[in-house]
Structure 1
Amino acid sequence: MENGEWWMYKAENELERFSELFVFELCRALGFPTAEYQNSGAFIRTKDFTRGVLNFEPAAYLVGDDEDYVTNYEAFLEFGEQIADQYVELLLMDAFCRNADRHTYNYGLLRDQKTGQVLSMAPNFDHNIALVARGYDDSPRKSDLLMELLVELEGQTHAVSRYLSRHPKPIITPELIAQCCIQTGMTVNVDYMQQFAMAGYKVLDKIC
């Protein structure tokens, strides 16, 4: 508890902290809901996104341990298009930044504590296995499972097309990636990050 607000601290190495901060900055730049992250020495800290007045319901309470994109999309669509669109934004960011840790306790819904009414998806959080958290790859990033799963979701549900019919297409450029790298306040290979994130972003071209 600091100045009346709860923060969670996680001990992470430098690349893990960078990955958390970069995804936070990119989410903010694109207008995607995100938990707040700050660097704090050997720790990364994130503010309680429930603010003590909301309930977080993990996706596991809806779908068990089934991480299948189609199953989850259809489950969230039951709560309306706004919720389903927020889930798509989560998947887009996972594809852009190769977040391989989207288990069913790592995303979910925010509910009113008194009424139980679903208000929104929880903001995007926990990215310490995304991007370069496990080190730099020896070769340029190519198509991977997260990109392929997003294309498969579109083929079965048209979820991304439906999202884009209601929202402007997220625009990521090498310049934006460099800006997000700078805003983390950490030293990183910017050229590598530009190649990495743009490779993930190209999945939208394939879908569109």
Structure 2
Amino acid sequence: MSPNNKGLFSGAVMSRDKVVVKIEKNNIIEMDKELAPLYIIRTSDFEGWLRMRSIDLHRTNSRLLKKVLRLNTSDEIEIVLTANAATITDTYWVKEKGSTLLYKDIIFTKDTFSDLALYGDPNAFSLGRQPTPELTNIGSYEKCWKMKRGQWYMYKQGSEFERFSEVFAYELGNKLGFNMAKYDMWDKYVVSEDFTNNGQVNYEPMHSIMLDNEDYMDNINIIKEMGSRLVKEYLDIIFLDTIIMNVDRHTFNYGLLRDVNTGAILSLAPNFDNNLSLISRGYAKSQERNDLMVKLFLEVKKNVEYKIPILTKELVEDIAKQVKAKVHVEIDINYIVNFCMNAYYKIK
């Protein structure tokens, strides 16, 4: 698919086979405010919504993907439209005016270019043009979607310390009873199952509502309007961020799950994308935690009631040992224990 009318798109944003937004020459002329994407409801910016769905063109393997698919453009909108703006993690897509396509015609069923997107597999250059979810696989790390037994899984590159930090975060959050996207290891990649279960729910990043505003209290106040139970889920996320010093919780790596049929907000999405936490950038000079993450959480604690989970040295040590063996990396376990527990003592 390509834009018509000299680069302007006319047609519709679809959810499965239901029209949720009507578009005429890139302008929104009608919208279902119950079912439309939250970003479009919030901003009425169709082009911005398309750009949000584009692969990061600075990734080396995205350039290889463009070459294999013979996409002679660096325009994010044109690239997204090539994939009908469809993604793995929601049921939205765009249908050009006059098209007879149905959702079953555009939904992704194969992972043909997964290895090219993940590590630049040269064998992909003999595969020819085929539909791929990689054109709408956002983020700055080399990654891909692989299909295993009818289920999509995200595979992502990273250094040994990044892989350790990602899997450690999952294991710790899981032990504390938090809603976590499961992370495991496969060879030298971290692997996570698609938490929308093949489009049974729609994932929408918090950017759709908050744009770039990461302020804890601003987010809490907005989330509170969606339901008090969601506030606890958000507090769990920023509690864990504080313990493991995840400084990368921007508004594209947390978000909401919505009912596909009604548009109702069901919950926050499981906690994901913790690879830039803990020792991902090496060991800090001091394990004393008087850092900004601790200070920000303490400010929240003054204003919002939150029952601090029970965290022990023994639990952190056990998890660190298990993940060390799984990732096959040499780490200082005492450092991990002290780093996490010092933050815990400060906020408890």
> Could you tell me the TM-score, scaled by structure 1's length?
0.91
Structure-1 separation of matches of 2:167 and 2:281: 15
Alignment of 1:24-103 (within 5 A): 24-52=170-198, 53-103=200-250
* 8 Å Cα contact 1:25/1:183 also seen in 2: no
Structure-2 separation of matches of 1:110 and 1:32: 16
Secondary structure (helix, strand or coil) at the match of 1:6 reads strand
Secondary structure (helix, strand or coil) at the match of 2:346 reads helix
Gaps of 5+ in 2: 1-146
1:200 aligns with 2:339: no
Q: Which amino acid aligns with 2:249?
A: R
Report what 2:298 is aligned to: 151
RMSD: 1.2
1:170 aligns with 2:309: yes
Name the larger-Rg structure. Answer: 2
Higher share in helix:
1
Q: Which amino acid aligns with 1:67?
A: E
* 8 Å Cα contact 2:289/2:346 also seen in 1: no
Gaps of 5+ in 1: none
1:114 aligns with 2:261: yes
Displacement of 1:108 in angstroms is 0.9
* 8 Å Cα contact 2:243/2:344 also seen in 1: yes
Structure-2 separation of matches of 1:73 and 1:203: 22
Choose which of 121, 131, 142 in structure 1 pairs with 2:278: 131
1:180 aligns with 2:323: no
* 8 Å Cα contact 1:28/1:34 also seen in 2: yes
Post-superposition CA distance 1:51-78 (Å, at most 9, x none): 1211111111111100000100001000
Report what 2:161 is aligned to: 15
Report 1 or 2 for greater relative contact order, CA contacts < 8 Å, sequence distance ≥ 6: 1
Structure-2 separation of matches of 1:178 and 1:99: 19
Displacement of 1:176 in angstroms is 0.2
Post-superposition CA distance 1:6-61 (Å, at most 9, x none): 11111111100000010000011000000010111221111101112111111111
Post-superposition CA distance 1:137-181 (Å, at most 9, x none): 2322321111111111223xx22xx232xxxx3111110001111
Q: Comparing 13-22 with 179-188, which one deviates more in the overlay?
A: 179-188
Number of residues of Structure 1 aligned to a counterpart in Structure 2: 197
Q: Which amino acid aligns with 1:146?
A: M
Structure-2 separation of matches of 1:115 and 1:141: 48
Displacement of 1:81 in angstroms is 1.2
Q: Which amino acid aligns with 1:194?
A: V
> Could you tell me the TM-score, scaled by structure 2's length?
0.55
Secondary structure (helix, strand or coil) at the match of 2:226 reads coil
Structure-1 separation of matches of 2:310 and 2:306: 14
Q: Comparing 177-186 with 22-31, which one deviates more in the overlay?
A: 177-186
Secondary structure (helix, strand or coil) at the match of 1:163 reads coil
Report what 2:61 is aligned to: none
Displacement of 1:129 in angstroms is 0.6
Structure-2 separation of matches of 1:49 and 1:182: 27
Structure-2 separation of matches of 1:15 and 1:173: 23
